[in-house]
Structure 1
Amino acid sequence: MRPSLEVAAPRAEEAPASRAFLLWSTAGVFAAHLALWLWVSWSRGLAFTDLLNRWDSNHYSTIIRDGYSGTLWAFFPLYPMAVRAFASVLGVERVQVLGAVLSSAAFLGFAVLVARAREREDLPEGLVPRTRLGWLFFLLAPASYVFHSHHTESLFLLLSALALFSGASRRPGWAGVFAGLCVLTRNQGAFVVAATALLAASREEGGARRLRALLIVGALGALGALSFLAFEYLASGSPLAFLQAQSGWHRADSVAAVFKTFVFGNPWQSTRSPYLLRYAVFWLLLIGTFLLARRQPALGLYSGLSLGVMLLQGEVANVFRFGTVVFPLFFFLGDRCARRPVWFQGAVLVALFALNLATARGYAVGRWAY
């Protein structure tokens, strides 16, 4: 008897993440968040436009309407200045609504970019999702509501993806430009510069070409940093206004305080259940970062720096938000999870979706959701 030549069809989670799947799953998750927020708005008697102004969203709105002042200098300028420009041209007064629309559009651009890049076979592992579960891990990250609300994450996500994809495609000039723009968007932009420079260099052949790619990305990234400092100086009189604005924040003032973070040794840390959950997520992401770094050092560096910077505050209460934009880590973890038994995949997806909805609801009702 001839051996069968039939190949078993991949499970749904293992199937390639097609463009249609990326876009329809995104629409589904965004619609679920919108329905949840409309319910919270109706059941609690809250204006939907006020709901969109929670936490940092309100700070961005203030910057857009009234400009920078006081502690607002802690927020990077590219996102609020872009929303202000659109609001001025379109005559929009409710800038939080416009910000949500622009963030959704930026995320759609990211999804299309990933869908196109996924068709390539030469990109490093983790840079695109190779399975549906890889995409769902990212889309259901705890704080993914920030991708369609009045936050800077979608803009940063799109720029960081363009930087990393350009670096991996041997286009160090464009990679440096996009990485430099990331520096104007979030403090994680500096980590994008470092990761993109290393990734661009690793894709070249020969020492001279590698050094050239490293220097081009590094120089353009440094130009972005200088532009940020120049903006701070011209607008506030101090190039370090963003650091001065953070003077009242909790901060690990010693190496010991950094390590105390892991054992709840700093006095401002909380051991209530919502924060314990964040520590559990932090450790899971840290383990994933270690595994990713073994396969793709540049992407592992980006993930590691994004997690490590939180330790400078002596707590990891922002892990949902800081981790959400590190898309290579979630793609990598999701693709790895797709190799596990079906029951395990299902349990993980249910847990992710439940946490995702709980975080989105927390943002709507004014509980800490970052």
Structure 2
Amino acid sequence: MDDTDDTGALVPIGVFARRVGLAPSALRFYDDCGVLRPAHVDEVTGYRYYSPDQEPRAVLVRRLREAGLPLVDASVVLDGRPEAARAVLTEHARRTRDRAAAAQAVIEDVLRALPGGQPRSVVRVGGAELSSAVRQVASAVAPADVRARFPVLGCVLLELDGQELRLVATDRYRLAVRVLRPLSVEGAPHEALVDVDAMRDLAAWSLRLPEVSVEVDGGAVVVRGDDEVRPLPTAEGNFPSYRLILDALPTARTRVVVDREALRGAVATAGENGPATLDIAEDRVTVSGRGAPAVAERAILTGRPVRISFDPGVLLPALDASVGPDVLLEISSATEPVVVRSADQGSFTTLVMPVRRPDEDD
């Protein structure tokens, strides 16, 4: 029997299985479940035959199952409305990330408990790049009075994960994340909390060096460069789950690009006596505040107009830490965290919480 037999363009289950990367037993199972019916079943022999135009659906079924999607959810993706499919996939991605994070945490705990502890990790990065990253994230560290009550908010989180070195800091109203792509990485994933003052000293020292190595071994952090060794004091504690915050961000409905220095000046002036309010519409960002004249700056707007207010003490450091002449604000609503991105540096992200508008307090 050839591939087409007397069923024309149809092919038997074995041929179809090889084409789409599924086992014949899996195809029979998906037929029984109603997920992927054959185009034709021989009434005498019971042989199943499939049409070439069924290949995209079969490949999609295979990919969804490889991603661990339950058949109930896979059916929504295959046959449901696009918005329902997006919702199912988004929720499955969230669950998958949560499970992976939980598994990683357990594995790291077990590794630390084994004789000899967790293997040392070493990353090599440019000295100036590390210095810049520290400067950017350190602006989000909590002030001294808050650190006294919550010591971890006075630290920078160093996170070695796969091929990235991440520096993270937050004061609960801002969250700054800078991702570095190391020159080389050795060892297992690690993380450590380092006091921000020690990180600032490190930044001043590393700025002049072509490269440095960051070594994390258990709870100890050592930085080497130019034949000099700098141990960094580490702290104990649970750093806020910043990944959950980032993953929970709603979709931005407003994106606006504006001159960074112009926006900074307008916010500083408008916020001298309270919050600074940004009216974003058409091709303008108009900044106003109590007792200050409104200032309009040219902008590129994508999405909905919005009116939103900020504490200048929170927004200004985020603008100062950005790089380049432009800044991008991604806004989902007037009450949700706003993503502040450097238009010229996608590896640095800051989250800034808005405040109630002055007219809402009246």
| Larger Cα-atom Rg | 2
TM-score normalised per structure 1: 0.24
Name the structure where strand makes up a greater proportion of residues: 2
TM-score normalised per structure 2: 0.24
